Copies of this chain bind each other. A is one copy, B any other.
Amino acid sequence: MVDSKKWVLMATAQTPTNIAVIKYWGKRDETLILPVNDSISVTLDPSHLCTTTTVAVSPGFEQDRMWLNGKEISLSGGRFQSCLREIRSRACDVEDKEKGIKIEEKDWEKLHVHIASYNNFPTAAGLASSAAGFACLGNVQVYLFFSLSFIIFVFWGCYAYILKVHWWKIDDDFFSLAKLMNLKENPSQLSAIARQGSGSACRSLFGGFVKWIMGKDENGSDSLAVQLVEEEHWNELVIIIAVVSARQKETSSTSGMRESVETSLLLQHRAKEIVPKRIVKMEEAIKNRDFSSFAQLTCADSNQFHAVCLDTSPPIFYMNDTSHRIISYVEKWNCSEGSPQVAYTFDAGPNAVLIARDRQVAAQLLRRLLFFFPPNSDTDLNSYVLGDKSILHDAGIGGSKDVEALQCPPEITNVPAQKYTGEINNFICTKPGRGPVLLSDESKALLNLETGLPK
């Protein structure tokens, strides 16, 4: 296989997360991960929310291993294994002449990999470090931690396959994988592969607004993601995520959507009759930057997805009382303004993703959120509002005293309004962002180039 005794080859990529505005809920094929309807998402700015993943291969590795945020996790799950199989089968000859390393196609079967994945907002967002803790946080984080790691994994295989070059020699610091792949292959076709790692994560292959087309083929070849518009197209939008302090363990989205497909009598009606029309309207709204339509469709579709969860047997509850309160406040405010200022959407967890029309609205939104959900007295504002802190500045909030001085919003008529200290873990201010990039700077790798173990 190779001449040298011990060598380690590595690749590191930064992958964004996305939040669906028209939801994916239900598979028509469990193995190939083919959805029952199209979905549309917005990719979130990776500077605030992303996963960095390093994948390494070496003849010295005795088994496949994976670390999430520095903690080793089991790779015995079915999806991990099938993903590993998929990548191995796609791998091609790889040669690093400088190092004098050559891996032939047939060698891949015998080679083990090490994967390390790291989230850029773990401690600050109050995420627990146990797997149960992760599972508590809904789709936004769940696939950040668990699924996006597969993407870079699949990328890695695809990349070697398509470009037949030594990808670890690319030296642009942030080189767009998608763009690179465009040279030889449509990145949407790559998304069809990425899809098999985690359905909704395939939408993270692009920045801006992305549509995952459900496709018709039985083999899933036409179930892929396409970019609708780049992130610059609608750059006024500001996104604030309210990370809700959840206590209870939730149903995973994988098992949840399977149960919905099996038991909900409303799911098929939604997938066949309602979503197709919404997709057309949503594409139109995004194209025209029509915030009113966008917000109306986003909120209605989030609510309908949760309605289908509730219609499942046994019912699935992802939203809690805090989620409900946030919806009520947003609805009340939108109503008082005469047209929507903020859209809300919730994935498989209680966290709210709030999309504000523009910066000015976002600042007003943040003031409202901090009024209703002030931080605990022992929580520093700096660790309570994360991400793009300039929104905090725009809101005129420099410290705890400014939060205490916030007035009740005018649309709230039943004063004194109740406050819910402690119900929110933190807020993350962000915006639509770009797709995944490959990091060539070795200092950014999460694994040690000598040992292949976490740094």
Residues of chain A at the chain B interface (Cβ within 8 Å): 247, 249, 265-266, 269-270, 273-274, 296, 299-300, 303-304, 306-308, 310-315, 317, 320-321, 324, 327-328, 331, 335, 414, 418
Contacts and interface: CB of A to CB of B under 8 A. Distances in A.
Q: Which of A306, A315, A317, A331 has the most CB of B within 10 A?
A: A315
B311 A303 contact: yes
A450 B327 CA distance: 53
Contacts of A331: 314-315
A304 to B, nearest CB: 5
A307 B317 contact: no
Nearest to A247: B418
B327 A303 contact: no
A304 B274 contact: no
Nearest to A321: B321
Nearest to A313: B300
26 contacts: A247-B418, A249-B414, A265-B270, A265-B273, A266-B266, A266-B269, A266-B270, A266-B304, A266-B307, A269-B269, A300-B313, A303-B310, A303-B315, A304-B310, A304-B311, A307-B307, A307-B311, A310-B310, A314-B327, A314-B331, A315-B327, A315-B331, A317-B324, A317-B327, A320-B321, A320-B324
Contacts of A249: 414
Contacts of A311: 300, 303-304, 307
A296 B307 CA distance: 18
B317 A313 contact: no
Given A299-B313, A304-B310, A307-B307, 16 more contacts: A247-B418, A265-B273, A265-B274, A265-B304, A266-B304, A300-B313, A303-B315, A306-B310, A307-B310, A307-B311, A314-B327, A314-B328, A315-B327, A315-B331, A317-B327, A321-B321
A335 B315 CA distance: 13
Contacts of A418: 247
Q: Which of A249, A306, A310, A321 has the most CB of B within 10 A?
A: A310
A310 to B, nearest CB: 4
Contacts of A324: 317, 320
Q: Which of A312, A321, A418 has the most CB of B within 10 A?
A: A321
Contacts of A317: 324, 327-328
A347 to B, nearest CB: 15
A252 to B, nearest CB: 15
Nearest to A418: B247
A418 B248 CA distance: 10
Q: Which of A306, A311, A317 has the most CB of B within 10 A?
A: A311
Nearest to A331: B314
A227 to B, nearest CB: 28
Contacts of A266: 266, 269-270, 274, 304, 307
Nearest to A312: B303
Contacts of A304: 265-266, 310-311
A132 to B, nearest CB: 10
A311 B269 CA distance: 13
Contacts of A328: 314, 317
